[in-house]
Amino acid sequence: MKKAILDRIEDGKAVFLIEPNHTEWLVNQEELDSSIKEGDVVTISETNEIMKHPQETDEMKKRIAEKLERLRGKN
């Protein structure tokens, strides 16, 4: 099982960044569950089933927001 983040959707393709190297993996947008949005953390099974992880997504977004706040405080 691989962990990934949905980076973007462009030209009908969902572009996932696979951890840890951020290797791109493309999926046709129509094959993607409509609840999965850009920035979501997912796992990809051996059969390419994509499962959303809302708690990990929330934790990641919180860490990013905290880093941005610290950076803003330095300026």
What confidence tens digit (pLDDT) does each residue in 32-61 have? 998 999 999 999 999 999 999 989 989 989
User: What's the pLDDT band for 73 if we cut at 50, 70, 90?
Assistant: confident
Q: What mean pLDDT, rounded, does the chain reach?
A: 92
- Would you state the pLDDT for residue 36? 94
Exposure string of 11-40, with b = 16+ CB inside 10 Å and e = fewer, is: eeebbbeeeeeeeeeebeeeebeeebeeeb
Q: Please give the model's pTM, rounded to 2 decimal places.
A: 0.79
